Chain A
Amino acid sequence: MGTGIEKSIFALIYKNQMADIQHLENFVTQVRRDILRQVHKVNSGHPGGSLGCAEFFVVLYQELMDRKEGFDMDGKGEDLFFLSNGHISPVFYSVLARSGYFPVEELNTFRLLNSRLQGHPTTHEGLPGVRIASGSLGQGISVALGAAETKKLNNCDHLIYALMGDGELQEGQNWEAIMYAAANRIDNIVVTVDLNGQQIDGSTDNVLPMGSVKSKFEAFGWDVLEIEKGNDIQAIIDGLTAAKSRTGNGKPICVLLHTVMGNGVDFMMHTHAWHGKAPNDEQLAIGLEQNPETLGDY
């Protein structure tokens, strides 16, 4: 053991870390409320996958990504994020708004006529933070790789992050992209796969079994990491930090994020039933009760 001073410094750092984690936990709780309230208001949208990825988004935007002040969207001088499974727009919108890209009050307009918060994310209405339209699945990784190529051409050492669903891997374009990335040694990208094992018609194992996703990525030449506790903030921080540290080594990085669909709202967990279904008034009340207001509702 070290000296008293060392001990107290360690204790201070530990305390700060714990405070940070608590802050992120509170952030996630608020994001869950935002997700539930968005989809409830318009009785449509995708809460299940959104809730499952709330911790990931919060860690990405609040801890990991090196983002520029000003939100100017020119794509230069900062890390960039691409969402391939665009249907989880409620979590994306909540985290973007609460990270400063647009007013939090705008979450009130989700899926409404004349809104910038379209059912699936788009650049068409000029919503800051969204760099590509997504919704038709399987296209995001190609786009993210293109952005990674431009980063290299611009001699910019910032990173590209992307998220995709696991069911989405059934789309063939992904495998074109996965093959391209390894062959061209695109090592400034971290692609996270949300491994919740669910898709609209049921579990991925029932709809179209994919075998070992890890083995497939590895066979294509990717460096693969797994985050077994994909809804645990510290595990995500550790996993993504490790992923980041492994960039620049000639291989694209894949993170397999094991999540629980509907996480944080007990009756929505471990089922595909809430993939694209909104809670009713009573269900909303239960969900909100399980996730008390922390940062302030919009």
Chain B
Amino acid sequence: MKTYENTGSKDTRSGFGAGLEALGKINENVVALCADLTGSLKMDAFKENHPERFFQVGIAEANMMGLAAGMTIGGKIPFTGTFANFSTGRVYDQIRQSIAYSDKNVKICASHAGLTLGEDGATHQILEDIGLMKMLPGMTVINTCDYNQTKAATMAIANHHGPVYLRFGRPKVANFTPEDQHFEIGKAVHLQEGTDVTIVATGHLVWEALEAAKTLHNDGISAAVINIHTIKPLDAAAILESVKTTGCVVTAEEHNFLGGLGESVARELALAHPVPQEFVATQDTFGESGTPAELMEKYGLNAEAITKAAKKVMARK
């Protein structure tokens, strides 16, 4: 089994900030908009080095989405930055009409997604955003797992024409993917080969899936781990190939089971190769205040929960 090293925990939002700043240097069409959360989104470096291409819109997310849509007309590539809740639910109709339906080349970059936002509580902890965004025709949906991958994804989406939702988070998490990785939108990353169970994870749950695989390995269970950074378009072929060997799957995400990665995977399985599936996700609930680790434990979104789900799904084979 492969081993992965945490090269030093970092927040994925800082990966976004670093990617945006790097993009600013190499692509003069990249512009950035922020709704009064520049520091939280780690957009300071871009703002400092490219002030003419940084737009502070204030606490006005609906206007930000419209501005971004308009800026594409004439060739700019806007990256919007605010929390995931304010990037999606608050502005759904603006994204739907002015960006997605209008096929505008806007990159909606969303930090503080999910429970790991922590102490601010449920008003800010959106667990429905993947579902909201993946339902929009033409929208690409990406949820990165660590700093390095978030930086690579931020840079990659500038070269993709069309609306993109890029989801990342607040806390420092293990940084384990290669620093110089090539990020290919829509391409799954096989982290562990396995024959007994397939774990398909996205975002912060990818590292937890690797930890679970280690535990399972010690218990004599061979778990495949697939990092799905792109939820839409989904790399169904990669998942199906693994599942044909293992015969069961656990999906893991920091999101409601309704509308998330798990449902997308279930659809592919139902169409091509039905097998038992367990969903590591929130169970149609809002979050609450607490530390990220406490919340992930309470809501069953950690390595321990994935390990349990793997054993449970194997018993259903």
Contacts and interface: CB of A to CB of B under 8 A. Distances in A.
Interface of A: 74-76, 80, 82, 122-124, 131-136, 139-151, 153-154, 156, 172-173, 176-177, 179-180, 183-184
Closest 3 CB pairs of A and B: A146-B70, A142-B66, A176-B63
B55 interface: yes
Contacts of A140: 66
B55 A132 contact: no
Nearest to B94: A139
A156 B73 CA distance: 13
A142 B70 contact: yes
Given A123-B103, A136-B97, A146-B68, 20 more contacts: A74-B74, A80-B73, A122-B101, A124-B102, A124-B103, A133-B97, A135-B97, A141-B66, A142-B94, A143-B66, A143-B73, A145-B70, A146-B66, A146-B73, A147-B71, A150-B71, A153-B53, A176-B58, A177-B66, A180-B63
A74 to B, nearest CB: 7
Contacts of A184: 55
Interface string B86-127: 000000011011100111100000000000000000000000
Interface of B: 31, 52-53, 55, 57-58, 60, 62-76, 78, 93-94, 96-98, 101-104
Contacts of A150: 70-76
Nearest to A73: B73
A150 B104 CA distance: 14
Contacts of B74: 74-76, 147, 150-151, 153-154, 156
Contacts of A146: 66-73, 78
Contact of A75 (B58, B68, B75, B101): B75
Given A153-B52, A177-B66, A180-B67, A143 B103 contact: no
A132 B31 CA distance: 19
A190 to B, nearest CB: 15
A143 B70 CA distance: 4
B75 A133 contact: no
Contacts of A151: 74
A184 B52 CA distance: 12
Contacts of B98: 132-133, 139, 142-143
B62 A134 contact: no
Nearest to A171: B62
Given A122-B101, A123-B102, A124-B103, A136 B73 contact: no
14 contacts: A80-B73, A122-B101, A124-B101, A132-B70, A139-B93, A142-B62, A142-B98, A143-B66, A146-B70, A150-B74, A150-B76, A177-B60, A177-B63, A183-B58
B55 A149 contact: yes
A86 to B, nearest CB: 9
A147 to B, nearest CB: 4
Nearest to A126: B103
Q: Which of B71, B96, B97 has the most CB of A within 10 A?
A: B97
Given A122-B102, A123-B103, A149-B55, A76 B66 contact: no
Contacts of A74: 74-75
A179 B62 contact: no
A154 B103 CA distance: 21
Given A123-B103, A145-B66, A176-B63, A154 B75 contact: yes
Q: Which of A123, A132, A183 has the most CB of B within 10 A?
A: A132
